[in-house]
Every structure is written in structure tokens, then in C-alpha cells.
């Protein structure tokens, strides 16, 4: 089997390199034409013309081919501007420093370096251009023939005008691109801010939903009171805090008397109405730190941290009397209910959650054995 051929993907040449290649090619070609007009008839030998062809017609293409293959073509192209100044200095020295050719070459390279590198480009040009002229004088001797005929002078004026106009157009294009890029970035920034705001809103909604789910997981769906799972974790925590701070803690365990008869006689909806009325009473009597929960079926529990036993007994008695005086309307009926309540308190009745609940449950069943509708310790 023959090996597959893989195409080599060449990186795209940066815009600055391509633009400078075009500008350099056209400008150097115009300089060659001006030098050719000035040098015709002066008896220049083949070596002179070979040098001019090399500098003005071959150098731009060779420089571009070299630059595009480098790791950082843009940085290399900015260095090439110094080389341009050196070669132009050599060229004007070789032709004898004609004023208009020298002026056009110096102003052209000075403008290009300044547009690309600012004051650094000015300094580099003012060093590189005379340096190139010095090299030209050392290689071919010093010649000073400043005069140019009117055709050469006009060609320099026209060529320099066209070059500076093109340079201005390039600067304008670059500014336009920067403006469009900045506007696009501003649009993207606004879009990102909107997405960020939406993300924050979504996260806030997710947090609220998670909080609602946690709350729902800890609440009895019918009464809205806390459920037994929440009580188990809260009782341990509150008991530990009361032990640490030296406070008392009371549990009131509540059972609705003859609740099964209510369901059997009037239906579960009637039973639910009684459960809801008792839940509302418990919620209204609970302090900020108390925990009212549905313990199971018709049983409820009120956890009261820092509550002395005597105060818990008074609170339980008040609840029993309030429920005893309550009439629950259900259709054509007026339902009534009574409570049996058992109380246990830390530290007198136990030091653990299991002990306290067991003692409260024992007291509750004592209340039932003694005739219901009563509070027992």
C-alpha cells in the first residue's frame, strides 16, 4: 500500500507583512524608474545597474519570501524597515546624492518607520539611512551630484505624493479595522455581560429551588410543619447546645384523642381539617427557636430549647384547653377534639434524644390511660 499524502497547511501571512510587501514592491519599483531616468546617459556601467536591479527589483521579493517563513513574521517585518532605510541610503550614495531622489527616499522610509514604530522609527531611520549612505560611499566612493532634470524631479514629486497618499490610506484602513474590531469587542462584551447576568439569575433561581426542595424535604406536605426527619437532626443539635450552655430543654408530645373515630365517622377530609387546625395552633404558640413538627399520623411534637419544665407544662395546658374549646366546621357538622399530652425535659428526664422521646411517649400513654384530655409528665 502506498503511504497517504498529507497536505502541509501553511500559516496565513499576517496582514502587515502582505501590506508592506505590496508597498515596498511598488515604491522600490518607482525608485528604480527615477534612478533610471536620472542615470541614463551618465555612462553607468553594468555593475551599477546590476546593483540597482538587486536593490530595487529583487530585494522586495526576496525579503518577503524570507519573512513569511519565520516564526514571527510581524516582528521580522518591523525589523525589515531598518533594512529598507539602509539600502535606500546605499542607493542614494551610489547615484551621488541627487537632492530630489535623496529627499524622496528619506521621506518615504521615514514616514513608513514613523507610522509603524513611532519615535523609535524616527530614530532608527535617522541612524540607518545615513549609515547605509556611509556604506555606499565606502564601497563605491563619495560622489555628490545634487542636480536632477525636470523629468526626474517631477517623477520624484509624483512618486512621493502617491506613496504618502497610499501610506495615509493604509493608516486609515488600519484605524477603520481597529474601530470595527473595538466595536465588535464592545458588542461581544455586552453579550457576555448579558450571558453573565442570565447565568447569575439562573444560579440564583437554582439556589432558590434547592432551598425550596430542602424546605419541602423537611416539611410535612399536609400541615406544613416540620417532619420527623428534620426533628431527628434538630433535636440532637439543640440538645448539644443546651448541654454546652447549661440550659434546659423540653419536649411536648401530642396525640389527638379518638382520631381514628373521626376518620371512620366523617372521613379523612374531616380528620385533615382537625390536623390543619391543630397545626395552626402549634405554629402560633411556637417561639422563634421552637420546632413544631408532625411526628406521625395524629401525633405532633413541640421542641422547646431553653424552656424550663414548669413553663413547658403551662404551655401544654394552654394548648390542650385551646383545642378543647375549638370547633372545626365540616359541612353541616361542628367537630371537636381533645389532646393527650406527655412532657419530658432535659436534664431531669434524660440526657439523650432517645431518652427524652421515650419518657415523653411514656407520659403521653399515661395521659391516655388516665382518661385522655390531659397533660402528664
pLDDT tens per residue across all 377 residues of the chain: 455 554 444 568 898 899 899 999 999 999 999 988 887 766 677 888 898 899 999 999 999 999 999 999 999 999 999 999 999 999 999 888 999 999 999 999 999 889 889 999 999 999 999 999 999 999 888 888 888 888 988 988 998 899 889 888 888 888 888 899 899 999 999 999 999 999 999 989 888 888 877 777 788 888 989 998 888 889 999 999 999 999 999 999 999 999 999 888 889 898 999 999 999 989 888 888 899 999 988 999 999 999 999 999 999 999 999 998 988 888 888 889 999 999 999 998 988 999 999 999 999 999 999 999 999 99
Q: Please spell the DSSP secondary structure of 35-96, one letter per residue.
A: HHHHHTTTT--HHHHHHHHIIIIIHHHHHHHHHTTSS-HHHHHHHHHHHHHHHHHHHHHHTT
- C-alpha span between 360 and 341 (Å, rounded): 8
> Domains in the chain, please, with CATH?
15-184 (no CATH), 228-376 (3.30.70.270)
Instruction: Please give the C-alpha separations between residue 255 and each of 35, 138, 160, 306, 323, in angstroms, as whole numbers.
Output: 115, 116, 105, 23, 12
What are the phi and psi torsion angles at 69 (to 5°)? Answer: -95, -5
Q: Which of 77, 124, 298, 376 is catalytic?
A: 298
DSSP summary character for residue 342: E
Helices (H) and strands (E) in the chain, counts: 12, 7
What are the E-state strand segments in 216-263?
Answer: 249-256
Q: In what order do the strands lie in the sheet with 249-256?
A: 291-296, 299-305, 249-256, 339-346, 374-376
Give CA separation, 193 vs 136, 178, 190, 203, in Å: 60, 22, 5, 15
77 included as an active-site residue: no
pTM summary value:
0.52
* Residue in the structure block whose three cell numbers are 357538622: 333
HSE-CB for 348 with a 13 A CA cutoff: 13
Contact 141, 130 (CB under 8 A): no
Amino acid at each position: 500500500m502506498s503511504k497517504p499524502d498529507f497536505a502541509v497547511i501553511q500559516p496565513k501571512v499576517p496582514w502587515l507583512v502582505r501590506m508592506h510587501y505590496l508597498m515596498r514592491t511598488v515604491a522600490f519599483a518607482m525608485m528604480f524608474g527615477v534612478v533610471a531616468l536620472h542615470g541614463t546617459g551618465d555612462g553607468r556601467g553594468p555593475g551599477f545597474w546590476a546593483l540597482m536591479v538587486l536593490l530595487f527589483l529583487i530585494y522586495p521579493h526576496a525579503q518577503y519570501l524570507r519573512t513569511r517563513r519565520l516564526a514571527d513574521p510581524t516582528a521580522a517585518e518591523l525589523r525589515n524597515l531598518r533594512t529598507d532605510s539602509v539600502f535606500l541610503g546605499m542607493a542614494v550614495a551610489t547615484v551621488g546624492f541627487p537632492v530630489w531622489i535623496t529627499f524622496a527616499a528619506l521621506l518615504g522610509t521615514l514616514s513608513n518607520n514613523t507610522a509603524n514604530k513611532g519615535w523609535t522609527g524616527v530614530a532608527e531611520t535617522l541612524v540607518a539611512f545615513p549609515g547605509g549612505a556611509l556604506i555606499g560611499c565606502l564601497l563605491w566612493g563619495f560622489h555628490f551630484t545634487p542636480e536632477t532634470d525636470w523629468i526626474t524631479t517631477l517623477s520624484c514629486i509624483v512618486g512621493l505624493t502617491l506613496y504618502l497618499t497610499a501610506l495615509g490610506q493604509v493608516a486609515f484602513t488600519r484605524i477603520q479595522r481597529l474601530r470595527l474590531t473595538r466595536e465588535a469587542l464592545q458588542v461581544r462584551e455586552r453579550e457576555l455581560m448579558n450571558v453573565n447576568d442570565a447565568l447569575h439569575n439562573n444560579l440564583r433561581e437554582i439556589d432558590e429551588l434547592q432551598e425550596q426542595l430542602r424546605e419541602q424535604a423537611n416539611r410535612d406536605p399536609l400541615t406544613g410543619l416540620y417532619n420527623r426527619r428534620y426533628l431527628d437532626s434538630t433535636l440532637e443539635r439543640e440538645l448539644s447546645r443546651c448541654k454546652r450552655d447549661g440550659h434546659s430543654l423540653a419536649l411536648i408530645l401530642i396525640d389527638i384523642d379518638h382520631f381514628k373515630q373521626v376518620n371512620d365517622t366523617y372521613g379523612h377530609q374531616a380528620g385533615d381539617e382537625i390536623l390543619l387546625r391543630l397545626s395552626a395552633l402549634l405554629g402560633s404558640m411556637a417561639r422563634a427557636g421552637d420546632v413544631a413538627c408532625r411526628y406521625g399520623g395524629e401525633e405532633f411534637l413541640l421542641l422547646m430549647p431553653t424552656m424550663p419544665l414548669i413553663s413547658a407544662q403551662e404551655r401544654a395546658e394552654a394548648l390542650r384547653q385551646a383545642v378543647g374549646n375549638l370547633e372545626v366546621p365540616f359541612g353541616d357538622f361542628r367537630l371537636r377534639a381533645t389532646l393527650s399530652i406527655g412532657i419530658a425535659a432535659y436534664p431531669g428526664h434524660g440526657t439523650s434524644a432517645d431518652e427524652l422521646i421515650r419518657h415523653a411517649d411514656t407520659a403521653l400513654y399515661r395521659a391516655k390511660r388516665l382518661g385522655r384530655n390531659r397533660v402528664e409528665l
